[in-house]
Amino acid sequence: MARVFITGSTDGLGLAAARTLLDEGHEVVLHARSRKRAAAMSDLAPRARGVAIGDLSSKRDTRAIADQVNSLGRMDAVIHNAGVYLEPARGSTPEGHAQTLAVNVLAPWMLTAWIDRPGRLIYLSSGLHRDGGGSLDDIDWTKRRWNAGKAYAESKLYLVALALAVARRWPDVSSNAVDPGWVPTRMGGPGATDDLEEGHLTQTWLAVSEDAAAKSSGGYWHHRKREKPAAEALDPDFREKLVEKLEQLTGVRVV
């Protein structure tokens, strides 16, 4: 039996992953942005190890989430599932960051640093990460004109690069990125053409399976098959420059 923390588990892929793991007999720590959102998990919460509450767009809340998780004991795996999609404007978090960057990238970065090191890390990316290439000069969108699609694609590229950077830094941890496909969740919309079940089973497999492939590290996965990610994610220089940017923006280091 494994103990797994899943961010953004009130709906969509996170909720499906939580339900699957609970049904398989694993311990699951859920996450909701607010107590109101946590009410959506009323059927699962009684079966869970606990529910962490906090808004991932806030550094203070993200720290509180990590503290709540750590208080429940060491996790065997953490699934960084939470994310936002096409934000209509850059927005501004309490620390002044773009909403898409804060939730999709800065929060997973900080949680990676602050949650007691698990055996496995899974970062939810997207096939759209291939459209996220470009300069790292303005990852927080303080100079460029806002482009929601580009910002999302960049954030998902950064997550793949982050997963691979952590895999290199922490050889004792299995760190992987996942493309769940275009699935009919609240984020994906009703027109999505991929299978919802296949969309969440890769991350649960990577989190708990004893298969040798599932225990490997530094991969980019789609439907339990390892694929080649965008060239930038494979570039050690790009990854290290991204890490430097994340350290500068958050004041937090992953060591």
Q: Give the model's confidence band at 42: pLDDT under 50 very low, under 70 low, under 90 confident, else very high.
A: confident
Per-residue pLDDT, 192: 43
- The residue annotated as part of the active site, out of 85, 152, 158, 220, is 152
Residue 156 designated active-site = yes
**Mean pLDDT for the chain?**
93
Residue 79 and residue 7 in contact, taking contact as beta carbons nearer than 8 Å = yes
Residues 12-40 pLDDT 10s: 899 999 999 999 999 999 999 999 999 87
Of 94, 111, 117, nearest in space to 6 by CA: 111
The average pLDDT across 85-102 equals: 97
Distance of CA 172 to the CA centre of its chain: 19
Catalytic residue, candidates 85, 156, 220, 245: 156
Pairing mode, strands 225-227 and 220-222: antiparallel
Full-model pTM:
0.94
Find the mean pLDDT for residues 51-69: 98
Residue-wise pLDDT for 227-253, tens only, equals: 999 999 999 999 999 999 999 999 999
- In this predicted structure, the answer to whether residue 81 has a pLDDT above a threshold of 50 is yes
Q: Kindly state the tokens that stand for 250.
A: 């958050």
Catalytic status, residue 36: no
Q: Which domains does the chain have, with CATH numbers?
A: 3-250 (3.40.50.720)
pLDDT in the model for residue 40:
79
- What are 26's two structure tokens? 């694993």
